[in-house]
Homo-oligomer: A and B are copies of this chain.
Amino acid sequence: AILEAIERALTGPDQPLKGRRALVTSGPTHEPIDPVRYIANRSSGKQGHAIAAALAALGAEVTLVTGPVTLPDPPGVRAMHVESARDMLAACRETLPVDVVVCAAAVADWRVADAADQKLKKGSGGDALALSLTENPDILATLSQAGEGRPGLVVGFAAETEQVVEHARAKRDRKGCDWILANDVSAATGTFGGDANTVHLITADGVESWPAQSKAEVGRGLAARIADALGPAA
């Protein structure tokens, strides 16, 4: 009876994700052009880091795979630091199997086809230069279709500047993930780099539009929904 009480305390309402393994990606990726230049994006990592912290607070064993950010690693989380999309995918594969993955990183869709070993010089191509880009591996789609190793719940993000919900629904179908958290990153909202976020959760059942709230609150809200969906660990 005492052991049962301890068990209940450890896996009770405060630790509903005890015994669950979670993987969260966060931040931007940097795609090298040459030794000094790269392609980046404006993701700060705040939302992904907040989700990792919230999942850990509910008892999950969390691995955070993060691109270059200026944020500290959240406490209680195993952090893996990467630069490029290919490095991020490799770190994710290494972390499988997990019960849930949340792909919050703003992964570069393209990388430079032929990154240079030496710094590119002006004038080598006259006044103009074309940078050939090639598609990066799609981490969300890859993890959504991982076959027997597929996480029980795959959550993607959609950062959109227009037709936010429509684009996010299409993305959910295209990627094969279970949920999409869609947010509006048009400049007027200040989402990129800011502390607040207005999101829509898109599931098989439809769309929930959450009120504007802090990224920490969005993280706690999503972690609670994940705990509901997974139920108690076996």
Contacts and interface: CB of A to CB of B under 8 A. Distances in A.
Interface of A: 30, 33, 35-43, 70, 106, 108-110, 113, 118-120, 122, 127-135, 159-162, 185-187, 192
Given A35-B161, A118-B161, 7 more contacts: A36-B161, A38-B41, A70-B70, A113-B128, A119-B160, A128-B134, A129-B132
16 contacts: A35-B185, A36-B185, A38-B42, A39-B39, A39-B40, A70-B70, A109-B120, A109-B122, A110-B129, A119-B159, A119-B160, A119-B185, A122-B135, A127-B134, A128-B132, A129-B133
A144 to B, nearest CB: 15
A130 B134 CA distance: 9
A161 B119 contact: yes
A37 B39 contact: yes
A209 B85 CA distance: 40
A86 B187 CA distance: 20
- 6 closest cross-chain pairs (CB), A and B: A131-B131, A129-B133, A130-B130, A37-B41, A40-B40, A109-B122
B36 A106 contact: yes
B108 A37 contact: yes
Contacts of A129: 110, 132-133
Contacts of A128: 113, 132-135
Contacts of A127: 134-135
Nearest to A160: B119
Nearest to A108: B37
B133 A133 contact: no
Nearest to A186: B35
A33 B39 contact: yes
A186 B37 CA distance: 12
A149 to B, nearest CB: 25
A39 B42 contact: no
A137 to B, nearest CB: 12
A6 to B, nearest CB: 45
A82 to B, nearest CB: 16
